[in-house]
Structure 1
Amino acid sequence: MDAMECLLGRQSTPAANLAEPTPSDDEILELLQAAMRAPDHAALRPWRFLAIRGERRRALGDIFADSLARRNPGATAEDVEKARGKPVRAPLVLAVWAKITENHPKVPTIEQVIATGAAAQNFLNALHARGYQAIWVTGAPCYDEYVKGSLGLAPKDALVGFIHIGTMKKGTAPKKKRPDPAEFLQTW
Structure 2
Amino acid sequence: MAQALIASRQTVLPKRLAEPGPDAQQLQQLLQALAAAPDHGELRPWRFVIVPQARRGLLADAFEAALRDRDAQATPAQCADAREKAYRAPLLMLAIARLGPAQPDMPALERMVSMGAALQNLLLLAHAMGYGAALTSGQSLQSPRLRELFRLQPGEEPVCFVSVGSITQRKPMRPRASPHEFVSEL
The equivalent residue for 2:132 is 133
Aligned to 2:51, what secondary structure does the other structure show? strand
Distance 2:24 2:154 in 1: 28
Q: Is the 8 A contact 2:100 2:154 kept in 1?
A: no
Identical residues among aligned pairs (%): 34
1:34-183 equivalences in 2 (<5 Å): 34-102=33-101, 104=103, 106-169=105-168, 172-183=170-181
Q: Is the 8 A contact 2:12 2:132 kept in 1?
A: yes
Aligned to 1:50, what secondary structure does the other structure show? strand
Q: Deviations over 1:52-101 (max 9, x none)?
A: 23232232111111111123323333222211111212222111112344
How far apart are residue 7 of structure 1 and its match? 0.7
Change (3 A) 1:95 1:25: farther
Change (3 A) 1:88 1:108: same
Q: Is the 8 A contact 2:34 2:121 kept in 1?
A: yes
- Give me the TM-score of the superposition, normalised by structure 1: 0.89
Q: Deviations over 1:8-35 (max 9, x none)?
A: 1100012111111111233212122221
Q: Is the 8 A contact 1:63 1:150 kept in 2?
A: yes
Q: Which moved more, 1:113-122 or 1:123-132?
A: 113-122
Q: Deviations over 1:137-169 (max 9, x none)?
A: 011122223202211211320111101110112
Unaligned 5+ segments in structure 2 are none
Distance 2:25 2:147 in 1: 26
The equivalent residue for 1:14 is 13
Amino acid at match of 2:93: L
State how many pairs are aligned.
186
Distance 2:144 2:109 in 1: 18
Distance 2:56 2:101 in 1: 31
Distance 2:122 2:151 in 1: 22
Change (3 A) 1:91 1:120: same
Tell me the C-alpha RMSD between the 2 structures.
1.9
Q: Is the 8 A contact 2:96 2:158 kept in 1?
A: yes
Distance 2:178 2:64 in 1: 39
